[in-house]
């Protein structure tokens, strides 16, 4: 199985990492994860990749891919160990096995999975590690219990049921138990992949071999998703965490159900957060409708929309669906239609047998918890490792994400922030470096991100070396002068008087002769015994 981009050898004249030109001595090496070309020092890292990627044994990786892979590997090993400890004292669930990286780690949040058993049925357990920007305090047992009761009470015909919710106070972990869906998610259906396979092998390193979901199921699944999202919206949750990976297919009937509702209650950023950041202010209203438009497009076309215009795919999209997608993405003069407007469209009404969905009732305390803590997103640009703390970080200011307001207004005072660190915050390279033409046009986002990270690492290294050289070249300060010596010590009786008498040469004549050594006494003569 090939990586996303496998750069040809002849197309690279310099290392992607350090930009050093290749020569007879400096040879080219491919990173087996991203497919880019590096020199030996920049790719001298070896890791055993998952078998689903098609490699056996340790493979060469670049510095960025190796660091990312090892960090995720440590995350999942740690979470797997915590999961075993969590179920050790459980009389209901039995630990089965840890799962690989079947989900996507994005926007700084972390979620891992393992399998458990209950009465012979397989249970999928999600382990959530909220970041330091969780809107409610993980150290409060009262808020933990409110979170558990609120999440367990959210019930709908098209929301995947939750069996149990637990917390681990010593590690600030959240455990969410659901019955394992053998069919997987909508994304598994689109890519025709196995649900329990490694994420990169399912979606990243191969193209979709499907033309999308069958058209007769698109409008049916779309209406079911809309009904569940409208229910959540009425309860106070604008479900912008929607994507095809968390829409699960029921194993018992031809229905789809929303999952991962807990993401909206712990401050996780939406999957399409980067896309929402770049939209105009007029189109940022009803952001949950924009996320639904992405899901609808992927179901019809069979691939994510990314940054491409939706009009490029007009020949393969039905006319009714195309009119609705244009209203969501293309028409910038009008605000984004709401979920209530979309569900009334003829595409989700004609030829469908509309069933009344069953809804669960929430108590006032549950609704109050949702009102206080749902849709609170961490500030833009604060993506960091889960549970990482910094002594210099200030208390985050959260912004309530409403359907009619942008979720990024909390950061408008400091200006709009981009997806990554702004180029003005990094030392710019020299003019000679900027004028060098790039050997390959970077059109793949993975290649661009790797090159950007390697470039920033090189700039940081150069700045540190320049600082070190400047520090070493500065002259050292002169040593302090010695303390002034005393011309004459104060005369004292005793030892100083004795020393003065010894130093005086006139005292030699007056010295008296000392008596010689006394003669030894004669030894006692032993009397001889006659």
Q: Where are the domains of the chain?
A: 1-61, 65-385+397-411
pLDDT in tens, the chain (530 residues): 444 578 888 888 899 999 999 998 898 999 888 889 999 999 988 887 765 566 777 888 898 888 877 776 666 677 777 888 888 888 899 999 888 777 665 544 568 889 999 988 999 999 888 777 788 888 888 999 999 999 999 999 999 999 999 987 666 788 999 999 989 999 988 888 888 887 766 776 555 556 688 888 999 999 999 999 999 999 999 999 999 999 999 988 889 999 999 989 988 888 888 788 777 676 777 889 999 999 999 999 988 888 788 999 999 899 999 999 998 988 777 888 999 999 999 899 877 777 777 888 899 999 999 999 987 765 433 333 333 333 333 334 444 554 444 443 434 334 433 333 333 333 343 333 344 434 434 444 545 555 565 666 555 556 555 554 444 455 556 666 666 655 555 555 566 667 777 777 766 666 554 455 555 555 555 555 54
Would you say 226 and 340 are in contact if contact means Cβ atoms under 8 Å apart? Answer: no
Would you state the pLDDT for residue 436? 42
| Beta-carbon contacts of residue 467 (< 8 Å; ≥ 6 apart) | none
Nearest to 149 by CA among 362, 358, 360, 359: 362
pTM: 0.63
List the structure tokens of 77: 């090993």
Would you say 347 and 325 are in contact if contact means Cβ atoms under 8 Å apart? Answer: no
Nearest to 16 by CA among 55, 61, 59, 79: 61
| Beta-carbon contacts of residue 351 (< 8 Å; ≥ 6 apart) | 219
80 sits in which H/E element: helix 63-88
Cα distance between residue 154 and residue 161, in whole Å: 9
The CATH H-level superfamily of 65-385+397-411 is Transferase(Phosphotransferase) domain 1 (1.10.510.10)
Which contacts of 11-14 are long-range, i.e. CB under 8 A and separated by 24 or more positions? Answer: 11/439, 11/440, 12/37, 12/439, 12/440, 13/439, 14/439
Would you state the pLDDT for residue 231? 95
Cα distance between residue 293 and residue 257, in whole Å: 17
Would you state the pLDDT for residue 222? 94
Query: What is the sign, positive or negative, of the torsion defined by CA atoms of 496, 499, 505, 509?
Result: positive
Rg of the chain in Å (alpha carbons)? 37
Specify the DSSP class assigned to residue 52.
Answer: G
3-state secondary structure (DSSP) of residue 9:
helix
Nearest to 79 by CA among 57, 104, 37, 110: 110
Would you state the pLDDT for residue 55? 74
Three-class DSSP labels, 458-483:
HHHHHHHHHHHHHHHHCCCCCCCCCC
Cα distance between residue 160 and residue 228, in whole Å: 10
Cα distance between residue 425 and residue 478, in whole Å: 38
Would you say 243 and 267 are in contact if contact means Cβ atoms under 8 Å apart? Answer: no
Cα distance between residue 15 and residue 29, in whole Å: 9
**Residues 215, 220, 221: CA angle, nearest 5 degrees:** 95
Cα distance between residue 405 and residue 430, in whole Å: 42
What are the CA-CA distances from residue 499 to residues 142, 487, 493, 509, 510 (Å)? Answer: 84, 16, 10, 17, 16
The total number of residues written for the chain in this structure: 530
Would you state the pLDDT for residue 155? 94
What are 127's strand-pairing partners? Answer: 112, 175
Question: Which segments within 202-292 are labelled E, that is strand?
Answer: 247-249, 256-258
Would you say 194 and 188 are in contact if contact means Cβ atoms under 8 Å apart? Answer: yes
Would you state the pLDDT for residue 392? 37
Cα distance between residue 499 and residue 420, in whole Å: 80
List the structure tokens of 132: 């330091």
What are 176's strand-pairing partners? Answer: 126, 165
User: What CATH number does domain 1-61 carry, 3.30.40.10, 1.10.3720.10, 3.40.50.2000, 1.20.120.140?
Assistant: 3.30.40.10
Cα distance between residue 29 and residue 60, in whole Å: 8
Cα distance between residue 196 and residue 213, in whole Å: 20
**Residues 441, 442, 443: CA angle, nearest 5 degrees:** 110
The burial class, CB within 10 Å (0-12 / 13-18 / 19+), for 55 is middle
Would you say 17 and 36 are in contact if contact means Cβ atoms under 8 Å apart? Answer: no
What are the CA-CA distances from residue 29 to residues 43, 89, 264, 455 (Å)? Answer: 7, 50, 43, 18
């Amino acid at each position: 199985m090939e990586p996303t981009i496998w750069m040809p050898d002849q197309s690279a004249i310099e290392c992607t990492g350090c930009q050093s030109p290749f020569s007879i001595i400096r040879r080219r090496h491919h990173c087996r994860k991203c497919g880019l070309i590096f020199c030996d020092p920049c790719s001298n890292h070896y890791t055993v990749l998952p078998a689903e990627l098609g490699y056996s044994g340790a493979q060469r990786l670049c510095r960025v891919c190796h660091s990312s892979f090892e960090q995720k590997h440590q995350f999942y090993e740690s979470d797997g160990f915590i999961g075993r400890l969590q179920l050790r004292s459980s009389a209901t669930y039995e630990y089965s096995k840890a799962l690989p990286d079947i989900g996507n780690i994005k926007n700084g949040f972390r979620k891992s999975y393992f399998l458990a058993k209950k009465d012979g049925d397989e249970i999928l357990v999600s382990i959530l590690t909220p970041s330091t920007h969780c809107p409610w305090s993980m150290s409060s047992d009262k808020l933990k219990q409110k979170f558990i009761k609120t999440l367990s009470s959210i019930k709908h015909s098209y929301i995947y049921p939750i069996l149990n919710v637990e917390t681990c106070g010593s590690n600030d972990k959240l455990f969410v138990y659901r019955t394992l869906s053998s069919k997987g998610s909508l994304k598994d259906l689109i890519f025709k992949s196995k649900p329990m396979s490694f994420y990169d092998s399912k979606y990243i390193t191969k193209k979709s071999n499907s033309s999308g979901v069958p058209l007769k199921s698109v409008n049916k699944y779309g209406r079911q998703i809309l009904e569940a999202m409208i229910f959540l919206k009425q309860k106070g949750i604008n479900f912008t965490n929607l994507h095809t990976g968390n829409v699960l297919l029921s194993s018992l009937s031809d229905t789809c159900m929303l999952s991962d509702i807990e993401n909206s209650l712990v401050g996780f950023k939406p999957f399409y957060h980067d896309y929402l950041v770049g939209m105009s202010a007029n189109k940022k209203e009803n952001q949950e409708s924009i996320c639904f438009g992405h899901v609808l497009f992927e179901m019809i076309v069979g691939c994510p929309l990314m940054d491409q215009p939706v009009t490029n795919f007009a020949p393969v999209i039905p006319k009714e669906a195309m009119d609705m997608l244009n209203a969501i993405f293309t028409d910038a003069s009008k605000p984004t239609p709401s979920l209530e407007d979309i569900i009334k469209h003829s595409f989700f009404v004609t030829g469908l047998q509309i069933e009344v969905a069953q809804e669960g009732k929430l108590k006032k305390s549950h609704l109050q918890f949702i009102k206080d803590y749902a849709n609170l997103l961490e500030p833009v640009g604060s993506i960091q490792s889960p549970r990482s703390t910094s002594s210099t970080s200030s208390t985050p200011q959260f912004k309530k994400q409403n359907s009619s307001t942008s979720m990024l207004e909390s950061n408008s005072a400091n200006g709009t922030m981009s997806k990554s660190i702004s180029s003005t915050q990094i030392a710019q390279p020299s003019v000679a470096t900027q004028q060098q033409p790039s050997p390959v046009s970077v059109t793949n986002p993975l290649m661009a991100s790797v090159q950007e990270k390697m470039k920033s690492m090189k700039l940081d290294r150069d700045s540190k070396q320049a600082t070190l050289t400047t520090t070493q070249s500065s002259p050292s300060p002169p040593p302090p002068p010695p303390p002034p010596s005393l011309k004459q010590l104060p005369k004292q009786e005793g030892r100083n008087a004795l020393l003065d008498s010894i130093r005086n040469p006139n005292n030699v004549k007056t010295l008296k002769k000392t008596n010689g050594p006394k003669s030894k006494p004669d030894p006692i003569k032993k009397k001889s015994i006659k």
